[in-house]
Amino acid sequence: MTDKTSPADSLICAPITEARAADFLAALDEAQRIADAIELRLDYLNDEDRARVLAELPARLAGVTKPLIFTFRPREQGGRRDLSLADRQTFWRSLPQALISAMAYADFELDLVASLVASSPIPWKKVICSYHNFDETPANLAEIRDRIARTPAAVIKITTQATRITDCLRIFELLEGSPKPIIALAMGVPGLATRVLALSRGALLTFGALRRGAESASGQPTVAELRDRYHVKQLSRASEIFGVIGDSVGHSRSPLMHNAAFAALGRDAVYLPFEVKDVGEFVRDFVRPATRKIDWRLRGLSVTIPHKLAIMPQLDVIDPTAQRIGAVNTVVVEGNELRGYNTDVIGAMKPLDELIAVRDARVAVLGAGGAARAVCYGLSERSAQVTIYARDLVKAQRLADEFKAQAAQLEDFDSGAEVVINCTPLGMQGRSVEASAAKSEQLGGVKLVYDLVYNPIETVLLKEARAAGCQTLGGLAMLVAQAAEQFRLWTGEEAPTELMWQAVSPPGF
Protein backbone atom coordinates (compact mmCIF):
# COMPACT_ATOMS: atom_id res chain seq x y z
CA MET A 1 0.00 0.00 0.00
CA THR A 2 1.88 3.07 -1.19
CA ASP A 3 -0.88 5.63 -1.65
CA LYS A 4 -4.44 6.43 -0.80
CA THR A 5 -6.73 5.02 -3.46
CA SER A 6 -10.07 6.58 -2.57
CA PRO A 7 -11.78 8.47 0.28
CA ALA A 8 -13.52 5.23 1.26
CA ASP A 9 -10.12 3.76 2.16
CA SER A 10 -9.47 6.52 4.69
CA LEU A 11 -10.48 5.54 8.21
CA ILE A 12 -10.31 7.57 11.42
CA CYS A 13 -10.58 5.05 14.23
CA ALA A 14 -11.76 6.11 17.69
CA PRO A 15 -10.54 3.99 20.63
CA ILE A 16 -13.01 3.49 23.48
CA THR A 17 -11.02 4.00 26.68
CA GLU A 18 -13.67 4.26 29.39
CA ALA A 19 -13.10 2.21 32.55
CA ARG A 20 -16.75 1.63 33.53
CA ALA A 21 -19.20 -0.51 31.54
CA ALA A 22 -21.95 2.11 31.28
CA ASP A 23 -19.51 4.79 30.11
CA PHE A 24 -17.85 2.34 27.72
CA LEU A 25 -21.14 1.50 26.02
CA ALA A 26 -22.16 5.18 25.87
CA ALA A 27 -18.83 5.98 24.24
CA LEU A 28 -19.51 3.26 21.65
CA ASP A 29 -22.66 5.14 20.64
CA GLU A 30 -20.68 8.39 20.49
CA ALA A 31 -17.98 6.83 18.33
CA GLN A 32 -20.60 5.38 16.00
CA ARG A 33 -21.74 8.95 15.27
CA ILE A 34 -18.37 10.58 14.60
CA ALA A 35 -15.72 7.98 13.70
CA ASP A 36 -15.16 5.72 10.69
CA ALA A 37 -14.00 2.75 12.77
CA ILE A 38 -14.09 1.91 16.47
CA GLU A 39 -11.50 0.19 18.66
CA LEU A 40 -12.89 -1.47 21.77
CA ARG A 41 -10.07 -1.24 24.31
CA LEU A 42 -11.37 -4.01 26.53
CA ASP A 43 -8.20 -3.94 28.64
CA TYR A 44 -9.41 -0.63 30.12
CA LEU A 45 -12.19 -2.53 31.93
CA ASN A 46 -11.92 -4.64 35.06
CA ASP A 47 -13.23 -8.22 34.94
CA GLU A 48 -16.75 -7.31 36.09
CA ASP A 49 -17.22 -4.36 33.73
CA ARG A 50 -15.68 -6.24 30.81
CA ALA A 51 -18.10 -9.16 31.36
CA ARG A 52 -21.01 -6.73 31.34
CA VAL A 53 -19.84 -5.04 28.14
CA LEU A 54 -19.33 -8.36 26.35
CA ALA A 55 -22.76 -9.53 27.51
CA GLU A 56 -24.51 -6.40 26.20
CA LEU A 57 -22.57 -6.03 22.96
CA PRO A 58 -24.48 -8.57 20.84
CA ALA A 59 -27.75 -6.72 21.37
CA ARG A 60 -26.11 -3.43 20.35
CA LEU A 61 -24.38 -4.65 17.22
CA ALA A 62 -27.42 -4.12 15.02
CA GLY A 63 -27.01 -0.38 15.55
CA VAL A 64 -23.27 -0.36 14.88
CA THR A 65 -22.38 0.08 11.23
CA LYS A 66 -18.72 1.04 11.67
CA PRO A 67 -15.90 -1.55 11.60
CA LEU A 68 -14.99 -2.78 15.09
CA ILE A 69 -11.50 -3.62 16.32
CA PHE A 70 -11.25 -5.65 19.53
CA THR A 71 -8.14 -5.08 21.65
CA PHE A 72 -7.09 -6.72 24.93
CA ARG A 73 -3.59 -5.41 25.56
CA PRO A 74 -1.22 -6.19 28.47
CA ARG A 75 0.23 -3.34 30.50
CA GLU A 76 3.81 -3.82 29.30
CA GLN A 77 2.62 -3.27 25.74
CA GLY A 78 0.50 -0.20 26.45
CA GLY A 79 -2.59 -1.77 27.99
CA ARG A 80 -4.27 -1.06 31.31
CA ARG A 81 -4.22 -4.53 32.87
CA ASP A 82 -1.56 -6.94 34.09
CA LEU A 83 -2.20 -9.82 31.68
CA SER A 84 -0.08 -12.90 31.13
CA LEU A 85 0.15 -14.58 27.76
CA ALA A 86 -2.16 -17.28 29.12
CA ASP A 87 -4.70 -14.63 30.20
CA ARG A 88 -4.83 -13.24 26.69
CA GLN A 89 -5.07 -16.67 25.06
CA THR A 90 -7.98 -17.55 27.34
CA PHE A 91 -9.74 -14.26 26.59
CA TRP A 92 -9.63 -14.69 22.82
CA ARG A 93 -10.58 -18.38 22.96
CA SER A 94 -13.62 -17.62 25.15
CA LEU A 95 -14.95 -14.79 22.97
CA PRO A 96 -18.50 -15.57 21.75
CA GLN A 97 -18.83 -16.50 18.10
CA ALA A 98 -21.35 -13.70 17.58
CA LEU A 99 -18.68 -11.14 18.49
CA ILE A 100 -16.03 -12.84 16.38
CA SER A 101 -18.39 -12.70 13.41
CA ALA A 102 -19.20 -9.03 14.08
CA MET A 103 -15.63 -7.75 14.45
CA ALA A 104 -13.62 -6.39 11.56
CA TYR A 105 -10.32 -7.08 13.32
CA ALA A 106 -8.78 -8.41 16.51
CA ASP A 107 -5.52 -6.75 17.56
CA PHE A 108 -2.98 -9.41 18.62
CA GLU A 109 0.43 -8.48 19.97
CA LEU A 110 3.35 -10.13 18.20
CA ASP A 111 4.04 -12.56 21.05
CA LEU A 112 0.37 -13.61 21.07
CA VAL A 113 0.40 -14.21 17.32
CA ALA A 114 3.49 -16.40 17.69
CA SER A 115 1.76 -18.47 20.38
CA LEU A 116 -1.40 -18.95 18.32
CA VAL A 117 0.02 -19.62 14.86
CA ALA A 118 -1.26 -23.19 14.87
CA SER A 119 -4.56 -22.60 16.67
CA SER A 120 -5.89 -19.07 16.46
CA PRO A 121 -9.47 -18.71 17.74
CA ILE A 122 -9.91 -15.76 15.34
CA PRO A 123 -9.71 -16.14 11.55
CA TRP A 124 -6.31 -14.80 10.47
CA LYS A 125 -7.95 -12.55 7.88
CA LYS A 126 -9.34 -10.63 10.87
CA VAL A 127 -6.09 -10.33 12.82
CA ILE A 128 -3.90 -7.25 13.21
CA CYS A 129 -0.42 -8.16 14.44
CA SER A 130 0.98 -5.27 16.47
CA TYR A 131 4.35 -4.12 17.77
CA HIS A 132 4.64 -1.26 20.30
CA ASN A 133 7.70 0.55 21.60
CA PHE A 134 7.00 3.22 24.22
CA ASP A 135 10.63 4.26 24.66
CA GLU A 136 11.91 5.02 21.19
CA THR A 137 11.64 4.50 17.45
CA PRO A 138 14.26 1.82 16.81
CA ALA A 139 16.41 1.72 13.72
CA ASN A 140 15.33 -1.80 12.71
CA LEU A 141 11.64 -1.08 12.09
CA ALA A 142 11.79 -2.46 8.55
CA GLU A 143 13.01 -5.79 9.97
CA ILE A 144 10.16 -5.78 12.50
CA ARG A 145 7.64 -5.00 9.76
CA ASP A 146 8.95 -7.84 7.61
CA ARG A 147 8.89 -10.23 10.56
CA ILE A 148 5.22 -9.38 11.18
CA ALA A 149 4.51 -9.71 7.47
CA ARG A 150 5.67 -13.33 7.61
CA THR A 151 3.00 -14.18 10.20
CA PRO A 152 -0.49 -15.25 9.03
CA ALA A 153 -1.99 -11.98 10.34
CA ALA A 154 -3.76 -9.86 7.72
CA VAL A 155 -2.60 -6.41 8.92
CA ILE A 156 0.68 -5.05 10.25
CA LYS A 157 0.60 -2.48 13.05
CA ILE A 158 3.72 -0.67 14.34
CA THR A 159 3.53 2.10 16.93
CA THR A 160 6.61 3.71 18.44
CA GLN A 161 7.55 6.67 20.62
CA ALA A 162 8.95 9.63 18.69
CA THR A 163 11.68 11.33 20.71
CA ARG A 164 12.55 13.72 17.87
CA ILE A 165 11.02 14.78 14.57
CA THR A 166 13.39 12.61 12.49
CA ASP A 167 11.73 9.49 13.94
CA CYS A 168 8.80 10.28 11.65
CA LEU A 169 10.98 9.40 8.66
CA ARG A 170 11.26 5.77 9.78
CA ILE A 171 7.51 5.51 10.20
CA PHE A 172 6.86 6.95 6.74
CA GLU A 173 9.41 4.53 5.27
CA LEU A 174 7.41 1.61 6.68
CA LEU A 175 4.41 2.62 4.59
CA GLU A 176 6.42 2.43 1.35
CA GLY A 177 5.94 -0.92 -0.33
CA SER A 178 4.49 -2.72 2.67
CA PRO A 179 3.67 -6.30 1.69
CA LYS A 180 0.41 -6.18 3.67
CA PRO A 181 -2.06 -3.50 4.78
CA ILE A 182 -0.31 -1.50 7.49
CA ILE A 183 -0.94 0.88 10.36
CA ALA A 184 2.22 2.81 11.32
CA LEU A 185 2.26 5.72 13.76
CA ALA A 186 4.64 7.58 16.06
CA MET A 187 3.44 8.71 19.49
CA GLY A 188 4.21 12.01 21.21
CA VAL A 189 4.13 15.57 19.86
CA PRO A 190 7.11 14.99 17.52
CA GLY A 191 5.14 12.15 15.89
CA LEU A 192 1.98 14.10 15.07
CA ALA A 193 2.82 14.33 11.36
CA THR A 194 2.64 10.54 11.09
CA ARG A 195 -0.91 10.57 12.47
CA VAL A 196 -2.11 13.36 10.18
CA LEU A 197 -0.40 12.17 7.01
CA ALA A 198 -0.86 8.42 7.59
CA LEU A 199 -3.92 8.01 5.40
CA SER A 200 -2.49 10.00 2.50
CA ARG A 201 0.58 7.77 2.52
CA GLY A 202 -1.24 4.44 2.45
CA ALA A 203 -1.98 3.52 6.06
CA LEU A 204 -5.11 1.49 6.72
CA LEU A 205 -6.24 3.91 9.43
CA THR A 206 -5.22 6.55 11.95
CA PHE A 207 -6.43 6.91 15.52
CA GLY A 208 -8.34 9.84 16.99
CA ALA A 209 -9.64 10.21 20.54
CA LEU A 210 -13.34 10.86 21.09
CA ARG A 211 -12.44 13.91 23.14
CA ARG A 212 -9.56 15.41 25.10
CA GLY A 213 -8.75 13.10 28.01
CA ALA A 214 -9.90 9.96 26.18
CA GLU A 215 -6.65 9.31 24.32
CA SER A 216 -5.27 5.78 24.15
CA ALA A 217 -1.69 7.00 23.52
CA SER A 218 0.38 10.15 23.90
CA GLY A 219 0.13 12.74 21.15
CA GLN A 220 -3.19 11.39 19.88
CA PRO A 221 -5.40 14.10 18.34
CA THR A 222 -9.17 13.93 18.61
CA VAL A 223 -11.39 12.67 15.81
CA ALA A 224 -12.67 16.23 15.37
CA GLU A 225 -9.14 17.61 15.03
CA LEU A 226 -8.14 15.02 12.45
CA ARG A 227 -11.33 15.49 10.45
CA ASP A 228 -12.10 19.22 10.82
CA ARG A 229 -8.73 20.88 11.52
CA TYR A 230 -6.36 18.76 9.47
CA HIS A 231 -8.88 17.36 6.94
CA VAL A 232 -6.95 14.07 6.88
CA LYS A 233 -9.50 12.29 4.72
CA GLN A 234 -9.02 14.80 1.90
CA LEU A 235 -5.21 14.76 1.90
CA SER A 236 -3.16 12.98 -0.74
CA ARG A 237 0.44 12.83 -1.93
CA ALA A 238 -0.29 15.95 -3.98
CA SER A 239 -1.33 18.02 -0.96
CA GLU A 240 0.86 21.00 -0.06
CA ILE A 241 2.54 20.86 3.34
CA PHE A 242 3.09 23.85 5.63
CA GLY A 243 3.87 24.04 9.31
CA VAL A 244 5.40 25.75 12.31
CA ILE A 245 8.79 24.70 13.67
CA GLY A 246 9.79 25.30 17.28
CA ASP A 247 10.96 23.43 20.33
CA SER A 248 7.53 23.63 21.95
CA VAL A 249 4.69 23.81 19.45
CA GLY A 250 2.02 21.56 20.93
CA HIS A 251 -0.13 24.52 21.95
CA SER A 252 0.48 26.70 18.89
CA ARG A 253 -2.64 28.38 17.49
CA SER A 254 -1.14 28.70 14.02
CA PRO A 255 -2.61 25.36 12.80
CA LEU A 256 -6.08 26.67 13.71
CA MET A 257 -5.64 29.81 11.59
CA HIS A 258 -3.85 28.42 8.57
CA ASN A 259 -5.87 25.23 8.18
CA ALA A 260 -9.08 27.26 8.39
CA ALA A 261 -7.74 29.60 5.71
CA PHE A 262 -6.70 26.78 3.39
CA ALA A 263 -10.10 25.14 3.73
CA ALA A 264 -11.97 28.40 3.10
CA LEU A 265 -10.07 28.98 -0.14
CA GLY A 266 -10.40 25.36 -1.25
CA ARG A 267 -6.65 24.84 -1.23
CA ASP A 268 -5.36 21.26 -1.07
CA ALA A 269 -3.00 21.90 1.84
CA VAL A 270 -2.38 21.15 5.48
CA TYR A 271 -0.49 23.04 8.21
CA LEU A 272 1.22 21.01 10.95
CA PRO A 273 3.12 21.68 14.18
CA PHE A 274 6.68 20.30 13.93
CA GLU A 275 8.55 19.97 17.23
CA VAL A 276 12.15 20.52 16.17
CA LYS A 277 15.28 20.48 18.33
CA ASP A 278 17.98 20.60 15.65
CA VAL A 279 16.92 23.08 12.97
CA GLY A 280 19.83 22.24 10.64
CA GLU A 281 18.94 18.55 10.70
CA PHE A 282 15.29 19.35 10.03
CA VAL A 283 16.10 21.60 7.06
CA ARG A 284 18.36 18.92 5.58
CA ASP A 285 16.02 15.96 6.07
CA PHE A 286 12.58 17.55 5.63
CA VAL A 287 12.83 20.93 3.90
CA ARG A 288 15.56 21.45 1.32
CA PRO A 289 14.44 19.83 -1.97
CA ALA A 290 17.94 18.61 -2.86
CA THR A 291 18.55 16.74 0.41
CA ARG A 292 15.22 15.97 2.08
CA LYS A 293 14.47 12.34 2.85
CA ILE A 294 10.73 12.48 2.42
CA ASP A 295 8.71 12.82 -0.77
CA TRP A 296 6.26 15.62 -0.04
CA ARG A 297 5.27 19.06 -1.34
CA LEU A 298 6.58 21.20 1.51
CA ARG A 299 5.90 24.84 0.55
CA GLY A 300 6.52 26.95 3.63
CA LEU A 301 7.16 27.19 7.34
CA SER A 302 6.50 29.46 10.28
CA VAL A 303 9.47 29.67 12.63
CA THR A 304 9.13 30.27 16.35
CA ILE A 305 11.22 30.10 19.52
CA PRO A 306 14.07 29.14 19.63
CA HIS A 307 14.83 28.86 15.91
CA LYS A 308 14.28 32.38 14.49
CA LEU A 309 18.00 33.10 14.49
CA ALA A 310 19.28 29.54 14.01
CA ILE A 311 17.31 29.13 10.78
CA MET A 312 19.09 32.01 9.04
CA PRO A 313 22.33 30.21 8.05
CA GLN A 314 20.20 27.46 6.49
CA LEU A 315 18.57 29.82 3.98
CA ASP A 316 19.55 30.86 0.45
CA VAL A 317 17.91 34.30 0.45
CA ILE A 318 16.94 36.51 3.39
CA ASP A 319 14.66 39.53 3.04
CA PRO A 320 16.31 42.87 4.05
CA THR A 321 13.77 43.45 6.85
CA ALA A 322 14.58 40.06 8.36
CA GLN A 323 18.30 40.79 8.01
CA ARG A 324 17.94 44.10 9.85
CA ILE A 325 15.84 42.58 12.63
CA GLY A 326 18.18 39.60 12.85
CA ALA A 327 15.40 37.01 12.89
CA VAL A 328 13.36 34.96 10.41
CA ASN A 329 9.85 33.77 11.27
CA THR A 330 8.77 32.69 7.77
CA VAL A 331 10.38 30.37 5.22
CA VAL A 332 9.16 30.01 1.64
CA VAL A 333 10.29 27.05 -0.45
CA GLU A 334 10.57 28.44 -3.96
CA GLY A 335 11.95 25.96 -6.48
CA ASN A 336 15.18 24.72 -4.93
CA GLU A 337 15.68 27.85 -2.84
CA LEU A 338 14.74 28.57 0.76
CA ARG A 339 13.76 32.21 1.31
CA GLY A 340 13.48 33.83 4.72
CA TYR A 341 11.21 36.67 5.81
CA ASN A 342 10.04 38.35 8.99
CA THR A 343 6.32 39.10 9.20
CA ASP A 344 6.43 40.16 12.85
CA VAL A 345 6.93 43.81 11.87
CA ILE A 346 3.83 43.87 9.66
CA GLY A 347 2.00 41.78 12.22
CA ALA A 348 2.78 44.17 15.06
CA MET A 349 2.38 47.46 13.22
CA LYS A 350 -0.65 46.91 10.99
CA PRO A 351 -3.19 46.61 13.85
CA LEU A 352 -1.52 49.54 15.61
CA ASP A 353 -1.63 51.76 12.50
CA GLU A 354 -5.35 51.05 12.15
CA LEU A 355 -6.02 52.50 15.62
CA ILE A 356 -3.56 55.34 16.14
CA ALA A 357 -0.97 57.42 14.28
CA VAL A 358 2.39 56.67 15.88
CA ARG A 359 4.48 58.91 13.63
CA ASP A 360 6.46 61.20 15.95
CA ALA A 361 4.47 59.84 18.93
CA ARG A 362 6.07 59.09 22.28
CA VAL A 363 6.10 55.28 22.60
CA ALA A 364 7.19 53.13 25.53
CA VAL A 365 8.34 49.64 24.54
CA LEU A 366 8.42 47.25 27.47
CA GLY A 367 11.00 44.49 26.95
CA ALA A 368 14.11 44.09 24.79
CA GLY A 369 13.73 40.64 23.26
CA GLY A 370 12.88 39.47 19.75
CA ALA A 371 9.35 40.89 19.72
CA ALA A 372 10.70 44.25 20.90
CA ARG A 373 13.21 44.27 18.01
CA ALA A 374 10.42 43.86 15.47
CA VAL A 375 8.34 46.58 17.16
CA CYS A 376 11.30 48.99 17.39
CA TYR A 377 12.05 48.44 13.71
CA GLY A 378 8.47 49.31 12.77
CA LEU A 379 8.42 52.33 15.08
CA SER A 380 11.72 53.61 13.70
CA GLU A 381 10.25 53.53 10.20
CA ARG A 382 7.50 55.80 11.54
CA SER A 383 9.89 58.20 13.29
CA ALA A 384 8.35 57.51 16.69
CA GLN A 385 10.11 58.72 19.84
CA VAL A 386 10.85 55.41 21.54
CA THR A 387 12.00 54.55 25.04
CA ILE A 388 12.81 50.90 25.71
CA TYR A 389 12.16 49.72 29.27
CA ALA A 390 13.71 46.42 30.29
CA ARG A 391 14.98 44.63 33.37
CA ASP A 392 18.30 44.11 31.58
CA LEU A 393 19.43 47.68 30.96
CA VAL A 394 22.50 46.62 28.99
CA LYS A 395 20.33 44.66 26.55
CA ALA A 396 17.87 47.55 26.33
CA GLN A 397 20.68 50.01 25.62
CA ARG A 398 22.04 47.88 22.78
CA LEU A 399 18.61 47.78 21.17
CA ALA A 400 18.14 51.51 21.77
CA ASP A 401 21.47 52.35 20.14
CA GLU A 402 20.53 50.31 17.08
CA PHE A 403 17.20 52.07 16.57
CA LYS A 404 18.10 55.56 17.88
CA ALA A 405 15.89 55.20 20.95
CA GLN A 406 16.28 55.76 24.69
CA ALA A 407 16.74 53.00 27.28
CA ALA A 408 15.64 52.71 30.91
CA GLN A 409 14.99 50.17 33.64
CA LEU A 410 11.55 48.55 33.54
CA GLU A 411 11.08 49.54 37.17
CA ASP A 412 11.46 53.22 36.16
CA PHE A 413 8.59 53.15 33.67
CA ASP A 414 6.30 56.17 33.99
CA SER A 415 3.28 57.49 32.09
CA GLY A 416 5.05 60.01 29.88
CA ALA A 417 4.23 58.01 26.74
CA GLU A 418 1.22 58.27 24.44
CA VAL A 419 1.48 54.58 23.44
CA VAL A 420 2.67 51.66 25.55
CA ILE A 421 3.57 48.34 23.88
CA ASN A 422 4.26 45.29 26.06
CA CYS A 423 6.79 42.96 24.43
CA THR A 424 7.55 40.99 27.60
CA PRO A 425 5.96 37.61 28.49
CA LEU A 426 4.51 39.10 31.69
CA GLY A 427 0.84 38.15 31.91
CA MET A 428 1.20 35.07 29.71
CA GLN A 429 -0.71 31.92 30.63
CA GLY A 430 1.35 30.00 33.15
CA ARG A 431 3.45 31.24 36.02
CA SER A 432 3.13 34.95 35.13
CA VAL A 433 -0.59 35.05 34.24
CA GLU A 434 -1.35 37.26 37.26
CA ALA A 435 1.54 39.62 36.51
CA SER A 436 1.45 42.93 34.66
CA ALA A 437 4.24 45.03 33.17
CA ALA A 438 2.46 48.18 34.39
CA LYS A 439 -0.26 49.25 36.83
CA SER A 440 -3.19 51.57 36.13
CA GLU A 441 -1.59 54.40 38.11
CA GLN A 442 1.40 54.30 35.74
CA LEU A 443 -0.80 54.68 32.66
CA GLY A 444 -2.32 58.09 33.23
CA GLY A 445 -2.33 60.10 30.00
CA VAL A 446 -1.58 57.05 27.84
CA LYS A 447 -3.83 56.91 24.78
CA LEU A 448 -3.31 53.25 23.82
CA VAL A 449 -1.89 50.16 25.55
CA TYR A 450 -0.92 47.31 23.23
CA ASP A 451 -0.12 43.93 24.80
CA LEU A 452 1.50 41.40 22.47
CA VAL A 453 0.59 38.57 24.84
CA TYR A 454 -2.43 36.74 23.40
CA ASN A 455 -2.87 33.87 25.86
CA PRO A 456 -4.95 34.76 27.77
CA ILE A 457 -6.88 37.13 25.50
CA GLU A 458 -7.63 39.40 28.48
CA THR A 459 -4.32 40.03 30.26
CA VAL A 460 -3.91 41.82 33.59
CA LEU A 461 -2.18 44.67 31.74
CA LEU A 462 -5.21 45.23 29.51
CA LYS A 463 -7.46 45.30 32.57
CA GLU A 464 -5.17 47.85 34.22
CA ALA A 465 -5.18 49.93 31.03
CA ARG A 466 -8.96 50.04 30.81
CA ALA A 467 -9.12 51.02 34.47
CA ALA A 468 -6.89 53.97 33.58
CA GLY A 469 -9.17 54.96 30.68
CA CYS A 470 -6.81 53.82 27.91
CA GLN A 471 -7.75 52.33 24.57
CA THR A 472 -6.46 48.74 24.38
CA LEU A 473 -5.20 46.30 21.76
CA GLY A 474 -4.52 42.62 22.46
CA GLY A 475 -1.87 40.33 21.05
CA LEU A 476 -4.34 38.31 19.00
CA ALA A 477 -4.31 41.18 16.50
CA MET A 478 -0.58 40.71 15.89
CA LEU A 479 -0.91 36.92 15.77
CA VAL A 480 -3.50 37.09 13.00
CA ALA A 481 -1.81 39.91 11.07
CA GLN A 482 1.59 38.20 10.94
CA ALA A 483 -0.06 34.90 9.95
CA ALA A 484 -2.00 36.62 7.17
CA GLU A 485 1.25 38.00 5.75
CA GLN A 486 2.81 34.53 5.94
CA PHE A 487 -0.17 33.14 4.05
CA ARG A 488 0.32 35.76 1.31
CA LEU A 489 4.04 34.99 1.00
CA TRP A 490 3.39 31.25 0.71
CA THR A 491 0.40 31.29 -1.63
CA GLY A 492 0.28 34.67 -3.38
CA GLU A 493 -3.31 34.98 -2.17
CA GLU A 494 -4.82 37.36 0.35
CA ALA A 495 -5.66 35.54 3.57
CA PRO A 496 -9.26 35.38 4.87
CA THR A 497 -8.31 37.31 8.01
CA GLU A 498 -11.81 37.43 9.47
CA LEU A 499 -12.00 33.66 9.35
CA MET A 500 -8.54 33.37 10.89
CA TRP A 501 -9.71 35.65 13.72
CA GLN A 502 -12.68 33.41 14.34
CA ALA A 503 -10.47 30.30 14.34
CA VAL A 504 -8.37 31.51 17.28
CA SER A 505 -10.87 33.66 19.18
CA PRO A 506 -12.77 32.26 22.17
CA PRO A 507 -16.56 32.00 21.78
CA GLY A 508 -18.24 35.39 22.13
CA PHE A 509 -15.00 37.34 21.73
For residue 374, give every residue at least 6 positions away whose Cβ sits within 8 Å of its Cβ, in sequence order, or none: 325, 327, 342, 344, 345, 347, 348
The confidence score (pLDDT) of residue 416 equals 87
Query: Residue 404: which region, alpha, beta or left (left: phi > 0; alpha: psi -120 to 50)?
Result: left
The confidence score (pLDDT) of residue 113 equals 97
Among all residues, which ones are annotated catalytic?
Answer: 132, 157, 308, 344
Q: Any idea how long the chain is?
A: 509
* CA distance to 81, 99, 120, per residue, from 57 (Å): 21, 8, 22
- Does the pTM surpass 0.75? The reply is yes
Please report, for the chain, how many H helices and E strands are present, in that order: 18, 20
Query: Residue 208: which region, alpha, beta or left (left: phi > 0; alpha: psi -120 to 50)?
Result: beta
For the chain, the farthest-separated pair of C-alpha atoms sits apart, in whole angstroms, at: 85
CA angle 303, 419, 459 (to 5 degrees): 60
pLDDT tens profile 260-269: 999 999 999 9
pLDDT tens profile 52-95: 999 999 999 988 999 999 999 999 999 999 999 999 999 999 99
C-alpha closest to that of 300 among 338, 332, 270: 332
**Per-residue confidence in pLDDT tens, the chain, 509 aa:** 334 333 446 799 999 999 999 999 999 999 999 999 999 999 999 999 999 999 999 999 988 999 999 999 999 999 999 999 999 999 999 999 999 999 999 999 999 999 999 999 999 999 999 999 999 999 999 999 999 999 999 999 999 999 999 999 999 999 998 999 999 999 999 999 999 999 999 999 999 999 999 999 999 999 999 999 999 999 999 999 999 999 888 788 999 999 999 999 999 999 999 999 999 999 999 999 999 999 999 999 999 988 999 999 999 999 999 999 999 999 999 999 999 999 999 999 999 999 999 999 999 999 998 899 999 999 999 999 999 999 999 999 999 999 999 999 999 998 789 999 999 989 888 768 898 999 999 999 999 999 999 888 899 999 999 999 999 999 999 999 999 999 999 999 999 999 999 999 876 55
* CA 277/CA 282 separation, integer angstroms: 8
Domains of the chain, earliest start first: 7-225 (3.20.20.70), 243-342 (3.40.50.10860), 346-478 (3.40.50.720)
How would you label 202-238 residue by residue, b for 16+ Cβ within 10 Å and e otherwise? bbbbbbbbbeeebbbbebbbbbebbbebbbbbbbeee
